């Protein structure tokens, strides 16, 4: 079992064009490290230099925005579905 | 170039007028790779601000699920400026992350003039493009 991660258009250059990839990890943070192993560079698009989740992306675990569930510490288990979407925002 | 039907163009302008003095925002979805803005989807500006817009995070997820189920993509992503010209701000450029989308900017700074412009925003580079308004798609 693994965790399915849906990848937005803007990050598909890291996944060979794949719309979804599998990863593993007990937390969102561990999952992103795992993804970066298979898809080098993707972590830098999700995590800031300060180690937080980038404000330009929204990450959902089973349809819950992780900002409300502990952000990078959000616990994951096999079979969870993670969706990454770019925030649509501006000034 | 953005080719858009008149009814959709007018709906975007009306949404912007209606939400003034707050910024209005939304999407026009279309079949993947068609470059045809077909389904007008006004969105709530969760920021409810005259200087910022943001799709609500739950609405955003719902929108993308719907589009995926319909084999659609966001062909147009629009928002309004309420006091400045219809040109992408630095914040707009920083957030822009749909390289295939037409970013449409509308300004409601004057009551009597419609400003409707379209841009590509790719890797922080803004390129304005012509807008062709058609009565319907051939």
Contact residues, chain A, for B85 at CB < 8 Å: none
Element (H, E) at B42: strand B39-43
Of B43, B47, B58, the CB nearest to A65: B58
What sign does the CA torsion over B40, B45, B46, B51 have?
positive
Say how many domains are in chain B.
1
The pLDDT tens digits of the residues spanning A33-87 come to: 999 999 999 999 999 999 999 999 999 999 999 999 999 999 999 999 999 999 9
Say what the pLDDT of residue A1 is.
63
The pLDDT tens digits of the residues spanning B80-105 come to: 999 999 999 999 999 999 999 999 99
Q: Check whether B134 has a pLDDT greater than 70.
A: yes
The enclosing domain of B49 has a CATH number of 3.40.140.10
What is the Cα–Cα distance from B4 to B117, expressed in whole angstroms? Answer: 12
Q: Check whether B138 has a pLDDT greater than 90.
A: no
Work out whether strand A20-23 and strand A3-6 pair parallel, antiparallel, or are unpaired.
antiparallel
What is the Cα–Cα distance from B47 to B21, expressed in whole angstroms? Answer: 13
Contact residues, chain A, for B97 at CB < 8 Å: 8, 10, 56, 86-87
CATH for the stretch A3-86: 3.10.20.30
Which residue of chain A has the CA closest to B76? Answer: A88
Among chain B, residues having any CB pair with chain A shorter than 8 Å are: 25, 27, 43, 47, 51-55, 57-58, 60-61, 64, 73, 77, 79, 88-92, 94-100
Domain spans of chain A? 3-86
What is the Cα–Cα distance from A34 to A8, expressed in whole angstroms? Answer: 18
Contact residues, chain B, for A9 at CB < 8 Å: 73, 98-100
Give the domain range for residue B106: 2-134
């Amino acid at each position: 079992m693994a965790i399915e991660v849906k990848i937005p258009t803007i990050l598909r250059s890291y996944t060979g064009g794949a719309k979804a990839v599998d990863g593993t990890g007990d937390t969102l943070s561990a999952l992103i490290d795992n993804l970066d192993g298979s898809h080098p560079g993707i972590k830098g698009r999700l995590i800031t230099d300060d180690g937080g989740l980038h404000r330009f992306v929204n990450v959902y675990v089973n349809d819950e925005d992780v900002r409300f569930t502990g952000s990078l510490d959000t616990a994951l288990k096999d079979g969870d579905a993670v969706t990454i979407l770019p925030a649509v925002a501006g000034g | 170039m953005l080719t858009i039907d008149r009814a959709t163009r007018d709906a975007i302008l009306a949404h912007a007028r209606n939400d003034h003095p707050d910024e209005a925002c939304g999407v026009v979805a279309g079949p993947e790779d068609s470059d045809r803005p077909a389904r007008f989807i006004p969105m709530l500006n969760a920021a409810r601000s005259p200087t910022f817009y943001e799709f609500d995070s739950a609405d955003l997820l719902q929108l993308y699920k719907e589009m995926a189920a319909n084999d659609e993509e966001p062909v147009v992503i629009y928002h309004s400026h309420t006091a400045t010209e219809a040109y992408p701000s630095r914040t707009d450029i920083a957030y822009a992350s749909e390289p295939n989308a037409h970013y449409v900017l509308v300004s409601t700074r004057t009551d009597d003039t419609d400003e409707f412009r379209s841009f590509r925003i790719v890797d922080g580079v803004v390129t304005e493009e012509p807008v062709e308004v058609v009565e319907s798609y051939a």
